[in-house]
Amino acid sequence: MQYNYSAQCSKKNLADIRSFISETLNNHFKSEIDIHHMVLAVDEVCANLMIHSHKCNPKESIDLFVDVRKQEVIIEIKDTGNGFNLKSYQEPTIDEIIVEKKKGGLGLMLVKRIMDKVEFIKSNNNNICRLKKTILTSK
């Protein structure tokens, strides 16, 4: 089953994005923790894109595609902003975050810990963030 959703780049829309992911996955899976992790990962990626790639410009938007398979979920988050280069991303240490009082940097750490696979793909003018997770408790 495939689902899609489009949101303008305003942080106020993050709550609706979370509801979309949560309601969609609740129809297919039982595991509350897995659903929560998918919601969290999508929220983190969307927040990053809205803030860093789109400067929270509500005239720009991001598109979400959810592909629910038997025991796996693939979510693609697509936008046309400045692409993100995962290879150049240097994960901060927890100490750096405390000492430098950085309020960012934790989002992608979370996403990498809770997803089975995270890819950033650039194709033509589009950037795609693809998140993959196996969920064994289908309804």
Partner 1 sequence: MITIQTNKEEDFYIIKVSGDVDASSSIHLDNKIGEIIKIEKKILVDCNDLQYISSAGLGVFMSYIHEMEEGEIKMVLFGLGNNVKNVFHILGLDQLINMVETKEDAKNLVDAI
* Rounded-to-integer distance, Cα 39 and Cα 127, Å: 20
Residue 136 touches partner 1, criterion: CB under 8 A: no
> Of these, 32, 55, 57, 117, which contacts partner 1 (CB under 8 A)?
32
Query: What DSSP assignment string belongs to 34-75?
Result: HHHHHHHHHHHHHHHIIIIITTT-TTSEEEEEEEE-SSEEEE
Q: Which of 2, 4, 6, 12 binds partner 1 (CB under 8 A)?
A: 12
Site string for partner 1, 63-102 (x = CB under 8 A): -------------------------------x--xxx-xx
Instruction: Give the range of 46-54, 68-76, 81-89, 124-132 binding partner 1 by CB under 8 A.
Output: 46-54
Cβ neighbours, 10 Å, residue 35: 22
DSSP 99: H
Amino acid at 100: E
Binding site for partner 1 (CB under 8 A): 11-12, 14-15, 18, 32-33, 36, 40, 43-44, 47, 50-51, 94, 97-99, 101-107, 109-110, 113-114
